[in-house]
Chains A and B, each alone.
Chain A
Amino acid sequence: MVWVLKRVGVAVLLVAIVVSIVCLAIRLVPGDPATLLLSQGGVAPDPAAVAQLRHQLGLDQPLLVQYLASLRGILHGDLGQSLQDGSSVAGQILQRLPRTLELIGVAAVLALATGLPSGLAAGLRPGGLFDRAAGLAAALGQAVPVFVVGTGLVLIFAQTLRWLPAGGYVSFAEDPVRNMELVAMPAVTIAFGLFSVVFRMTRASVLDIARRDFVRAARAKGLARRHLLLRHVLRNALVPVVTVVALNLGTLLGGTVLVEYVFNYPGLSGMLVQAVDARDYPEVQGIVLVISVLFVSLNLAVELIYAALDPRVRRA
């Protein structure tokens, strides 16, 4: 129990440190949100109007005051208002987060659905034709940048064949079919890279497990091949795969920006990049807070599961 509390404590501390660093760093880099907002399109705004906007947004206060005010807000569960249009940052994140989760979720399902069986098949016959073919696909998936894959898909399926829309977003509740059409290409793009990870991990893990004594013993006992593969080999091989996939998904929370740009998908990481460009301090802080909480929780969950599975971890 003490161990668990310690882990949770470290996680909370980690989030606090991340948010503090971001809070200060985004304010210390050059660039003024009010000037940026009012000089869009290469025009010269009236200095009095800029000064007034800075005042309205509280940007004329000392850095420390701004920092403490945002910390106080966060502790009260208030992520503040966007400097650009005064909308609630929490509201905007709540709107964007499910889209990102949907995108990552669909991509993860696709990657697992393809990566697991192919990894298993390749691991059982290393060096075989299938292994080499799937290995090549995995190498491509890791080497080719997502914007190349994405742009290629748009060119083929949207611009040439016109089967799918080039990009955008409609919520599942509003139009389920349209939602799926729009999620399809970005999810496949992300899944391609993720497939490589799943495939490689599964293959390596299966290769390792399949040579273990208990597998040989089970086979000697006359266990059916299907039963042996699914119940003993794959199941044991899954542990490292799950870990790596979980970590990759965590990274994707804030790392789908290129895919979002190519497919005009209004997710969380695109919002983060735009917020940094506009120096929208509350938005940047809010998004980083949410992403780091999710990421740290994901890690914490993995650690706790490990501990439950393996007592040695707790004692370490």
Chain B
Amino acid sequence: MIELSRRTVLGGAASLPFLVRAAQAAAPKDRLVFGLSAYPPNLMPWMNTGTAALTVKTQIYRGLMSFGGNGELQPELAESWERDGKTGWKFHLRNAVFHNGAPVTAADVKWTLEQIIGPTSTAYLRGQLQDIDTIETPDAHTVRIVMKKAFVTLPLLLATPYAPVIAKGATTVHGLPVGCGPYVPVSLEQGVGIKLVAFDKYYKPGLPKLKQLHMVAYADENARVAALQSGDVDMIEYVPWQSMAAIAADHALSLSTVNGPFMALAFNGSTGPFKDVRLRLAVAHAIKREDIVKAAFYGRGEPLETLPIPKDSPFFDPTYAHAWRYDPDLAKKLMAQAGVAKGFACTLLSTAQYSMHQATAEVVQQNLAEIGIQVKLDLPDWATRVAMGNRGQYQFCVQGETTDDNDPDGLSAYIDGSLPANNARSFALPTPRINALLEAGRAEFDQAKRRAIYDKLQQVATEVEVPMVSLCWRQQGYAMKRDVVGFYNLPGGLNFYSGYSLEDVSFS
């Protein structure tokens, strides 16, 4: 028996090279194999469950709007939209159908929004959309949303993949609610991958360009890169920084990177040295950000010495571009003013689970030692790190985060100290002026006046209240075989929504 099976194995092994070659030669050009950065924890439409989940969900579900290649709003289910009264918005729906064949109507949109803001909701936008006052459906193709107060960024929030429209009351398919995206899931194998086929009644004629999309999970970043280099997959997300140079140099592959998420420091405002804004500023001026870009991201990033507003944003104010420039003398002066001219000891919370978080912490430690601040690193696993962040069990901590969109209002989550305690922002650090400016910006529709508000915000945040200290932008990369065309890598805070463009992807 053993003899037989060994012979079979050996025989099989001997013929493998030929089989593989044959399989590769016959690979159909209407199927893309995509290497995900993880198997999505779940695919519930309105929850945030990470990058890999967003990449899959943007295939299955769609909302009223989305983002185009330059980050501009683009129509999806809503063909057009306009302001309606002082606090209202009107959305005009196109003819579209769900995967179950039912038409997408205003009632589905209303139901969707009610689920997002309802009392039992676990939706990501639950808090941000609480200001919705009424949702009206004058006809099957019109939705009118009235807010409790003027809310300029509503279309942006509805364009994120956190607000897809789901068929009201439909039964689930593969345990998933029914959406209307370009691809329909046909099989899900937990921990392995998800197979999707093109939805033949998708509302954009001619799209998606490919017939099949196979999404395979590669939790280990090196395995993901190896899968691309060996031809197992056509495209991968979340290219590890250490592999970017090799992929860029490979003639068979192409690499697409943009500055996406950013690294920063958050502080504890209730205890410890960083209650004092002068010491937060001293830290801001003591860090050589190029070193972080080099050590943590292999040079694939850009120092960030102000609030994380992209340079090409109309709200970026060059006056403050280097507000937190490296200036150790100024840092020492600030320490002297704060009465700790000789330095002090403190603890920096980060995590050893992600090398970029640890490397960032190590550079900060070294730089601060040069101005006399003795930093002890606390590097628990990520889950513990998040719990400690939420409870404020730190003096200052390393953050790696991304905004919901590229509007400055997207910074609220990280700089508005009036929001409830959260791991993502400084702990118990009141920011009354920032809060007032954000409120004003959210209600202001005049672009010039809005710009003035955010100019002021950049001044207050970098010089007066200092609710965080930015460190650097980091590049976020997708890599693909050279014949894969049509993909666009969305800039800045929108980066993780780049899955929107997979409907345009094909082979040249």
Check: A142 CB closer than 8 A to any chain B CB.
no
CB-CB < 8 A to A161: which residues of B? Answer: 17
Q: B48 near A162 (CB under 8 angstroms)?
A: no
Residue of A29, A42, A53, A180 contacting most chain B CB atoms (<10 Å) = A42
CB-CB < 8 A to B126: which residues of A? Answer: 46, 48-49
Check: A243 CB closer than 8 A to any chain B CB.
no
Known: A31-B386, A35-B423, A38-B49. A43 touches B124 (CB 8 A): yes
**Cα separation A295 to B404 with both chains bound (whole Å):** 47
Q: A41 near B48 (CB under 8 angstroms)?
A: yes
Q: B386 near A35 (CB under 8 angstroms)?
A: yes
Listed stretches A68-76, A192-200, A264-272; interface member: A264-272
Among the listed A155, A167, A278, which residue makes an inter-chain contact with B223, where contact means beta carbons less than 8 Å apart? A167
Q: A42 near B401 (CB under 8 angstroms)?
A: yes
Q: A84 near B42 (CB under 8 angstroms)?
A: yes
CB-CB < 8 A to A38: which residues of B? Answer: 47-49, 122, 124
**Cα separation A165 to B229 with both chains bound (whole Å):** 10
CB-CB < 8 A to B401: which residues of A? Answer: 42-44
**Cα separation A29 to B229 with both chains bound (whole Å):** 39
**Cα separation A92 to B41 with both chains bound (whole Å):** 13
Q: A159 near B381 (CB under 8 angstroms)?
A: no
Smallest CB–CB gap between B481 and chain A, Å?
14
Interface size on B, residues (CB 8 A): 78
Q: A44 near B386 (CB under 8 angstroms)?
A: no
**Cα separation A213 to B381 with both chains bound (whole Å):** 58
Known: A31-B383, A49-B123, A86-B42. A42 touches B402 (CB 8 A): yes
Q: B124 near A165 (CB under 8 angstroms)?
A: no
Nearest B-chain residue to A263, judged by Cβ: B223
Among the listed B20, B227, B420, B423, which residue makes an inter-chain contact with A162, where contact means beta carbons less than 8 Å apart? B20
Residues 176-195 of B, flagged 1 when their CB comes within 8 A of A and 0 if not, give 00000000000001111000
Q: B49 near A42 (CB under 8 angstroms)?
A: no
**Cα separation A75 to B361 with both chains bound (whole Å):** 46
**Cα separation A53 to B47 with both chains bound (whole Å):** 10
Check: A245 CB closer than 8 A to any chain B CB.
no
Q: B422 near A47 (CB under 8 angstroms)?
A: yes
Residues 149-165 of A, flagged 1 when their CB comes within 8 A of B and 0 if not, give 00100110011011111
Among the listed A41, A109, A167, A181, which residue makes an inter-chain contact with B16, where contact means beta carbons less than 8 Å apart? A181
Smallest CB–CB gap between A84 and chain B, Å?
4
Residues 190-203 of B, flagged 1 when their CB comes within 8 A of A and 0 if not, give 11100000000000
**Cα separation A180 to B6 with both chains bound (whole Å):** 12
CB-CB < 8 A to B127: which residues of A? Answer: 46-49
Among the listed B2, B48, B232, which residue makes an inter-chain contact with A43, where contact means beta carbons less than 8 Å apart? B48
Q: A177 near B12 (CB under 8 angstroms)?
A: yes
B208-246 residues with Cβ-Cβ distance < 8 A to A are 216-220, 222-224, 226-227, 229-232
Q: B219 near A47 (CB under 8 angstroms)?
A: no
Q: B121 near A52 (CB under 8 angstroms)?
A: yes
Smallest CB–CB gap between A148 and chain B, Å?
12
Known: A163-B20, A261-B223. A168 touches B216 (CB 8 A): yes
A65-110 residues with Cβ-Cβ distance < 8 A to B are 84-87, 92, 95-96, 109
Check: B395 CB closer than 8 A to any chain A CB.
no
Among the listed B20, B51, B191, which residue makes an inter-chain contact with A41, where contact means beta carbons less than 8 Å apart? B51
CB-CB < 8 A to A184: which residues of B? Answer: 13, 16
Check: B170 CB closer than 8 A to any chain A CB.
no
CB-CB < 8 A to B390: which residues of A? Answer: 32, 35
Q: A32 near B229 (CB under 8 angstroms)?
A: no
CB-CB < 8 A to B217: which residues of A? Answer: 264, 266
Known: A35-B386, A85-B42. A41 touches B121 (CB 8 A): no
CB-CB < 8 A to B20: which residues of A? Answer: 162-165, 181
CB-CB < 8 A to A166: which residues of B? Answer: 223, 226-227, 229-230, 232
Check: B158 CB closer than 8 A to any chain A CB.
no
Residues 42-61 of B, flagged 1 when their CB comes within 8 A of A and 0 if not, give 11100111110110000000
Q: A159 near B41 (CB under 8 angstroms)?
A: no
Check: B105 CB closer than 8 A to any chain A CB.
no
Check: A37 CB closer than 8 A to any chain B CB.
yes
CB-CB < 8 A to A181: which residues of B? Answer: 16, 19-20
Nearest A-chain residue to B128, judged by Cβ: A46
Smallest CB–CB gap between A101 and chain B, Å?
15
Known: A35-B386, A43-B402, A277-B382. A271 touches B227 (CB 8 A): no
Residues 232-274 of A, flagged 1 when their CB comes within 8 A of B and 0 if not, give 0000000000000000000000000000011110100011001
Q: A85 near B192 (CB under 8 angstroms)?
A: no
Known: A30-B387, A31-B386, A261-B220. A165 touches B230 (CB 8 A): yes
Q: A167 near B227 (CB under 8 angstroms)?
A: yes
Nearest A-chain residue to B123, judged by Cβ: A49
Smallest CB–CB gap between A37 and chain B, Å?
6
A1-59 residues with Cβ-Cβ distance < 8 A to B are 29-32, 35-50, 52-53, 56
Check: A308 CB closer than 8 A to any chain B CB.
no
**Cα separation A85 to B45 with both chains bound (whole Å):** 12
Check: B399 CB closer than 8 A to any chain A CB.
yes
**Cα separation A125 to B47 with both chains bound (whole Å):** 66
Q: B220 near A154 (CB under 8 angstroms)?
A: no
Smallest CB–CB gap between A90 and chain B, Å?
13
Q: B192 near A168 (CB under 8 angstroms)?
A: yes
Check: A144 CB closer than 8 A to any chain B CB.
no
CB-CB < 8 A to A109: which residues of B? Answer: 2, 5-6
Residues 102-127 of A, flagged 1 when their CB comes within 8 A of B and 0 if not, give 00000001000100000000000000
Known: A45-B124, A169-B192. A277 touches B381 (CB 8 A): yes
6 A-B pairs with least C-beta separation: A31-B383, A46-B127, A40-B50, A85-B42, A44-B424, A42-B401
Q: List 19 A-B contacts (CB under 8 A).
A: A30-B383, A31-B384, A32-B390, A35-B387, A35-B390, A38-B124, A40-B51, A42-B401, A44-B413, A46-B125, A46-B126, A48-B127, A56-B122, A155-B226, A158-B230, A159-B230, A166-B223, A266-B192, A278-B383
8 A-B pairs besides A32-B383, A40-B53, A177-B12 with CB distance below 8 A are A36-B383, A38-B49, A44-B414, A44-B425, A52-B121, A155-B226, A168-B216, A262-B220
